[in-house]
Amino acid sequence: MQKKIVVLLCLLLSACYTQNVMDLSTPEPDNEKSGSVLADDGSSGVSEETESPPVTGNNPAVGVNVADYGAIGDGVTDDSAALNSAFQAIKDGGDMYFEQGKIYAISRGIEIDGARNFNIYGRNATLRVIDGYQPSGNFSHPLSIRNSTDFSVNDLVIDGNRARRQPAEDWRLDNIKILECKRFTFRNVVSNNALDDGFYLDVLAGSHQDRTAANSEGKFINCSADNAYRNGMSIIVGRNIEIIGGSYTNANGIWPQSGIDIEPNEEDISPGAEDIVIRDATFTGNNGAGVMATNYWSGVERVTVENNYFSDNALAGVMMAVKTGLVKGNTFYDFQRMTNASEEWWQTAEVVSVLGEDVVVENNLFARIHFQVPVIQVREADARQKSEGHTVINNQIYDFRGEAISVDETASDIRIMENDIDRDRTISAPR
């Protein structure tokens, strides 16, 4: 009898110990509340709407709803003041939420300056500049983030309302302006109808020669820009910037009219832009180039354009004038409305244009190029830029009207090899 009691006591103590261990262990995450996590390759880890903060800070998360600050979101009421108040509430860290799918009318810019450790969740809401607004010196960009670190902006639409503005274009007003920011992510952010650029990355006045001021470690995941007056995105000063997925389309108005333009200004320290990656995005319908990268004014180094889709861009698919560049694995399909540029240093159009130093054009598909232009053009050196050390290899060039590969006689150390060229071969649309 005593032996049985001892055994029962042992079993009871063992069960209690096991229960205590289970209670002290880390609980399983609630999958319904957890947002998606971006995979290292930038692929399908992105959901249609982001719910959990992708950026974590040292401060406890503080949830702010723009409605708590008086934002209405009916598309008519001017929500500028309310939204600016809400933005200031997360300046030292926290999360801000818009109401799902609402339209917030603004008559002046929404600004955040010197902030850190914050996340903005748009929930597919729109910030739209009011009808008939006349730009003035007091109007900032619809969304401006300056001198801020460790933040994210998610699932938000910025509409410059270009068609209903007076005047309809103003080269000084970008939809989203990013100045001197570090470690940031824009995810599923849309720029429509910008009066100038959709996204614009630069430094503040007086910082052009300060290397530490550059925007750095920034990501644009599945973002898009459509119908910008100048460029879908301009990277003036930036380092370690990634554009993964999304689309940059229908830029039209004033030069350069490109989907993405990487072009430091003359006053910027050289290189003004470096370590830029553009991957898995779509570039269609731009009146300029799909992607333009040039060190004509200040240095641009190490630019990768990989696995993108280009179609119907009037000036070029890619114009690459950099030091060390890679154009690889892209599809260039259906170029039929190409035209000459107005700028003196791009006097002709081509599908891929190469200048600078050590640019590799590799394993791209070109098809349905029905305009009398070179498919790949290695350009001549000029007073500002070299043209040397380029490689054109393993490209497939089909169904074209002009010259397949053209190399200017002043370009040096150029390697052309193992390209599959067939003027008469046709293929169906790859997308």
What are the φ and ψ backbone dihedral angles of 58, each rounded to 5 degrees?
A: -80, -25
What is the arithmetic mean of pLDDT over 238-246?
Answer: 98
Residue 212, classed as helix, strand or coil, is helix
Q: What percent of the chain has pLDDT over 90?
A: 65
What is the arithmetic mean of pLDDT over 47-72?
Answer: 64
The CA radius of gyration of the chain, in Å to the nearest whole number, is 26
Instruction: Evaluate whether 107 touches 141 at the Cβ level (below 8 Å).
Output: no
Give the tokens for residue 37. 């996590």
Q: Is the pLDDT of residue 12 over 60?
A: no
- ∠ CA 77-175-304, nearest 5°, is 150
Q: Is the pLDDT of residue 39 over 80?
A: no
Instruction: Evaluate whether 243 touches 260 at the Cβ level (below 8 Å).
Output: yes
What is the rounded distance in angstroms from the CA atom of residue 265 to the CA atom of residue 345? 16
- Compute CA distances 272 → 146, 179, 206, 431, whole Å: 18, 14, 14, 35
**pTM confidence score:** 0.84
pLDDT score, position 136: 60
Q: Is the pLDDT of residue 97 over 70?
A: yes
What is the arithmetic mean of pLDDT over 186-203?
Answer: 96
What secondary structure does DSSP assign to 403-414, as a single string? -SEEE-TT-BS-
Give the tokens for residue 358. 């050590």
Instruction: Evaluate whether 193 touches 161 at the Cβ level (below 8 Å).
Output: yes
pLDDT score, position 171: 58
pLDDT score, position 135: 64
Instruction: Evaluate whether 230 touches 257 at the Cβ level (below 8 Å).
Output: yes
**What mean pLDDT is reported for the chain?**
84
In the 8-state DSSP scheme, what is residue 338?
A: -
- Compute CA distances 27 → 22, 35, 118, 207, 402, whole Å: 9, 17, 26, 48, 64
pLDDT score, position 27: 34
What secondary structure does DSSP assign to 81-136, as a single string? HHHHHHHHHTTTSEEEEPPTT-EEEESS-EEEES-EEEEEEEEEEEEEEPTTPPP-
In the 8-state DSSP scheme, what is residue 35?
A: P
CATH number given to 62-422: 2.160.20.10
- What residues does each domain of the chain span? 62-422
CA 110 remoteness from chain centre = 20
What are the φ and ψ backbone dihedral angles of 20, each rounded to 5 degrees?
A: -65, -40
Highest mean pLDDT among 62-71, 160-169, 237-246, 263-272: 237-246
Model confidence band, residue 349 (pLDDT cutoffs 50, 70, 90): confident
What is the rounded distance in angstroms from the CA atom of residue 247 to the CA atom of residue 227? 11
